A = this chain, B = another copy of it.
Amino acid sequence: MSNDLIKSAHLKTAEIEKASHRDYFNIAISVDCVIFCYHEKELKVLAIKSDLEDFSGLYSLLGDLVRPDEDLDKASYRILMERTGMDDVYLEQVHTFGTIDRHPSGRVITTAYYSLIDAKHQKLRINNNDLQWVPVKQIRRMAFDHKLILDTCLDRLREQVMEHPVIFNLLPEKFSLRELQELYEAILQTDLDRRNFRKKIAIKDWLIDLNEMEDDVPHRPGKLYKLKPEYRRKSARRKMGGPRAAIA
């Protein structure tokens, strides 16, 4: 932080009194949440029909301004809670978007988070006609720069999914390996080899075999598994130290 800030901060009330639209404090900050779920073998995102004329017919992400007495991370939890009724969710900050003209109503810088939730979770309530789960593949355009935000979060999700057991937040507690594989395929938009997939998951040692079987499938039922409790996380907790020596 530079001296400029300190000076500004000391002058704060004076400056706000002036309230010129060039005021340093005349930037709003928001968070936007890219809330993913997995339903009907598709990755979907929670979106709302924009009520701005500029963007009529387009969907936008869920977001809100950050309150002055609210942590940035808390703001994203609040939005999720308000919109979905769920609070035990996976949330991760991805990127902050801050071009000057990204919002038609004024200068708004937004921090994007992505979230993973189980579409079938009991607590989940989407009780608004304009609020919908939209298949990610179908989305061509969105309001504001929200398509860019979505794509950025999707890229991040794809990166994470390889290395970290985050994907389980999109599934119910008990799931079969077929469901898990289909989910990976939906996110990565590839086909995976069943034998290799199962080997890789086995090696990672993320799962507990529940010794239960599926009971609602029109074919031979598969075994059910759950994620080991120690891997259940609400955020990715980037480990200190990071990756090592993969260069040589």
Contact = CB atoms under 8 A, between A and B. Distances in A.
B23 A68 contact: yes
A200 B247 contact: yes
Interface residues of A, number: 90
Interface in A104-156: 105-111, 143-144, 146, 151-152, 154-155
Interface of A: 1-6, 8-10, 12-13, 16-17, 19, 21-30, 32, 48, 51-52, 60-73, 79, 93, 95-100, 103, 105-111, 143-144, 146, 151-152, 154-155, 158-159, 161-162, 181, 184, 188, 190, 192-193, 196-197, 199-201, 238, 240-248
Contact of A106 (B9, B151, B155): B9
A27 to B, nearest CB: 5
B72 A109 contact: yes
Contact of A196 (B28, B243, B248): B248
22 contacts: A4-B64, A6-B105, A16-B26, A22-B68, A25-B26, A26-B68, A27-B28, A27-B66, A71-B98, A72-B96, A72-B97, A73-B99, A96-B96, A155-B241, A158-B243, A181-B248, A188-B244, A190-B245, A192-B248, A197-B247, A200-B248, A201-B248
A177 to B, nearest CB: 11
A109 B65 contact: no
A18 to B, nearest CB: 10
B241 A1 contact: no
Nearest to A5: B65
